[in-house]
Structure 1
Amino acid sequence: MIMKDMNRRDFMKIVGGATATTGLAACSPKRTIDAGPAPTNQGPVPTDKMTYRTFPGFVDEKISILGYGCMRFADIENVPHEGKNPLNQDAVNKLIDYAMEHGVNYYDVAPVYSQGYAERATGNALKRHPRDKFYVATKLSNFSDPSREVAMMLYNNSFKNLQVDVIDFYLLHMIGGGGMEQFNKRFIENGMIEFLKKEQERGKIRHLGFSFHGDIACFDYALKMHDNKEVKWDFVQIQMNFVDWKHASGFNTPAEYLYGELEKRGIPVVIMEPLLGGRLSNVPQHIVSRLKQRDPGSSVASWSFRYAGSFPKIMTVLSGMVYMEHLQDNIRTYSPLKELTDEEKQFLYDTADLMSQYPTIPCNDCKYCMPCPYGLDIPAIFVHYNKCVNEGNVPKSQEDPNYTEARRAFLIGYDRSVPKLRQAAHCTSCNQCTPHCPQNIRIPQEMQRIDKFIENLKQNTL
């Protein structure tokens, strides 16, 4: 999980962040975000019916089942400048104000989001509201340098950026990335877990937890620490949705196991990636028809959010809501939440079985792979490819009935979605990206495969 070619000065300057990327066109007119495409349900948006969760040990805390994931604020249209804040603060304020007005009180961010500016933007927006009306969560994102110096810098800066005296929910960020070796370096050998426990004792942190991607040995070890009373995890954040329940890809672990281990210990769960970075709302048309036939009045995304909230130990479900229509649709879904029946859950598991037959790349558009040292827009390339797979615009050969239309849609959409200098052809296979991918995608190999496919389309040699 260490970017070996980045020195500490560079890391402390940009805090390991990601670059804003260009929106999709043709195959996808707008970059897919965690909330997915614009919903069709345009009913009223309730202001006083949000579902809240409470748990033993949480003193008088009612957490909105809809949590605001503040990772993707960089996708709000603005004019980014190299080395300068890419975020539109007014747009962030508008979204957070609307969320607050409609009952959302949990806001999740991290020092590495949006080139390191997301914490500051979130803090600027939240400080305009009474402190007792929201809960803020942030993380120890010491991926690139596990030294205590950097860890303490990140920790202290979070208070300054968020403009709070107490952090409600503090997480060890993405344990599992890099395996047990990195877990020990990032949290044990530098004494940070012991430090955070003391910070919790003196009231600077209200609840301590971790988020997980990657090596299951780290997850199991962290829970063993909990069982042995070395540390008490008040909550844990996992990737969970109806596909990952049994069909987790790469080195990810099925959510059925993750949730089950937390449930039997009574640990509240925060869900991330309920839509797999938008892939569960940008589904093939036959899947859309399947969901619409079952419930014509609901958006495709609402199925995933209802699923995510229908487990008793779920504290909140994070969504990276960049567009107002996504925020409104999610508020409708959770105001109040109508939990899925067992039969409806099985309907979604059967849907996941169907979806597993389609060869999409498991990219969640998190941008942890960015910036690419050679300028590639890795997430945009994957998002465009996946969108075209779902729309049937990835022909296998010239014998396909829709070859001409699919070829044109893929190539035109690719040039509109990804500037030529940022396309897969420029990948050098340096592999700096792969260690940072939570989904463990073999990024250089996928870039080569996509580039070869594109060249075959251009030359009409498929």
Structure 2
Amino acid sequence: MIYKDFKDMKLSALGMGAMRLPVIDGDDARIDEAQAAAMTDYAMAHGVNYYDTAWGYHGGNSEIVMGRALAKYPRDSFYLASKFPGYDLSNMDKAEEIFEEQLKKCGVEYFDFYLFHNVCEMNIDAYLDDGKYGVFSYLAKQRERGRIRHLGFSAHGSREVTIRFLDAYGADMEFGQLQLNWLDWSFQDAKGKTALLNERGIPVWVMEPLRGGKLTALSEGDAAKLRALRPAESAAGWAFRFLQSLPEVTVVLSGMSNYEQIRENVRIFESEEPLDKREMEALFEIAEEMVRQSSLPCTGCRYCVSRCPQGLDIPNLLDLYNEHCFTGGGFIAPMALAAVPQEKQPSACVGCRGCETVCPQRIEISAAMADFTARLSA
């Protein structure tokens, strides 16, 4: 197992994420506890020492199952991370109540790592309103008491939102967790977000390294291109080797759903084999084509905005539409739109097509807004 230095600690470069544990009969809330425990045992036996769970994972059961799975091991033999569930605004005034319950669910007296969960457009104002909600003050106090050893954050929001959060709390953030993989390096500006954390001296933790498995399901043509460069490397291996090529990355969290996945991931992280320039370029070419096939070619010129009688931020809405279409749904677009007034939503488009008369890319914007509205309502 590869280990990375963090303060006075040696963290396994591979962390076990507990958001996609094996389940029974396809029910996300019913974790197959025996399988999850076996996977945890394998991880522990092969040097994985970082385990990541959260309040909302698996219908609230992930923390319980991971706590039980790790209970047989000495407390100082693993590092446990959980998060404050700020993705739900109704939790904002419950920091103490939730934190105390999380300790009980996990069966521990402290968390090695604790995060502001999912800093994004929807919750940034609440996270920053410490006078009203006091989330930061409460968590900082728990760190002072030793009940949180290291405090950080995860972010699915834009770079601009992350900047606002760091301007307020950056001096107290010891690590930042980003959706980072070779496809989102450009598609979600993971490159810019990584650079932002690097500029602030904040180590990077990685989530969604395989983008929910999408990067292991390549077309035969794309897979052949990669095999020509590294014949023995799996698709998962390519994704992890990409991350091994980024010096800013400390821990890569992978949500594994079966025993075979934990074995494969552990095998990959037995060695550090970063990609060379040619290999990186091959990945980025594949990423560009994958996005192009399912995305509208908006360049952000903003000519359309001047012709919109509703004053919609059309380039931003098209970016979110592209994300939603490429992912096949998901939470990122709805999450971002939750911070957008109703009169500026895709549904506010009146279909006048004035925007289309000035679009250099000839995008059928009104049709895209109608389709986006339908997808969000489905």
TM range, smaller chain: 0.7 to 0.9
8 A Cα contact 2:93 2:133, kept in partner:
no
Aligned to 2:145: 202
For 1:188 and 1:295, the matched residues in 2 are separated by 54
One-letter code aligned to 2:162: F
Q: How many residues align?
A: 323
Q: Deviations over 1:97-123 (max 9, x none)?
A: 011111111111100000110110010
Work out whether residues 179 and 208 of structure 2, in 8 Å CA contact, stay in contact via their aligned partners in 1: yes
1:106 and 1:134 in contact (8 A); partners too: yes
Q: AA paired with 1:90?
A: A
- 1:65 corresponds to 2:16: no
Q: CA-to-partner distance for each residue in 1:226-267, whole Å, 9 max, x for gaps?
A: 56x4xx11100001111111122xxxxx01111111112221
Superposition TM-score, scaled by structure 1 size: 0.63
Aligned partners of 1:219 and 1:260: how far apart in 2? 12
1:310 lines up with 2:245 in the alignment? yes
- The answer to whether structure 1 residue 225 and structure 2 residue 160 are counterparts is no
| % identical aligned pairs | 32
Name which of 202, 221, 242 aligns with 1:286: 221
1:212 aligns with 2:155: yes
Per-residue deviation, 1:446: 5.7
- The structure richer in strand per residue is 2
State the AA in 2 paired with 1:301.
Answer: A
- Residue identity matched to 1:246: S
Residue of structure 2 in register with 1:393 after alignment:
none
| 1:148–1:141 CA distance, 2 compared to 1 (3 A) | closer
CA deviation map 1:145-179 (0-9, x unaligned)? 44555222221111111111110010000011415
Partner SS state of residue 81, structure 2: strand
Structure 1 residues 144 and 203: alpha-carbon distance in aligned structure 2, compared to 1, 3 A threshold = same
The gaps in structure 1 that reach 5 residues or longer are 1-49, 249-253, 362-384, 390-423, 425-431, 453-462
The answer to which structure has the higher helix fraction is: 2
Unaligned stretches of 5+ residues in structure 2: 297-324, 340-344, 347-368
SS across alignment from 1:172: strand
SS of residue in 1 equivalent to 2:76: helix
Give the match for residue 82 of structure 2: 138
Q: 1:93 to 1:279 in 2, by over 3 A?
A: same
**Partners in 1 of 2:70 and 2:370 — Cα distance?**
39
Q: TM-score, normalised by structure 2?
A: 0.77
Distance, in Å, in 2 between the alignment partners of 1:437 and 1:116 is: 23
Structure 1 match to 2:184: 244
Residue in structure 1 matched with residue 52 of structure 2 by the alignment = 108
CA distance in 1, matches of 2:332, 2:228: 41
- Which of 175, 191, 197 is matched with 1:235 structurally? 175
Q: 1:10-409 alignment to 2 at 5 Å?
A: 50-55=1-6, 58-59=7-8, 61-73=9-21, 75-78=22-25, 80=27, 86-146=30-90, 149-178=93-122, 180-184=124-128, 189-226=132-169, 229=171, 232-248=172-188, 254-359=189-294
AA aligned to 2:157 is: G
Instruction: Please state how far the C-alpha of 1:337 moved relative to its aligned partner.
Output: 1.8
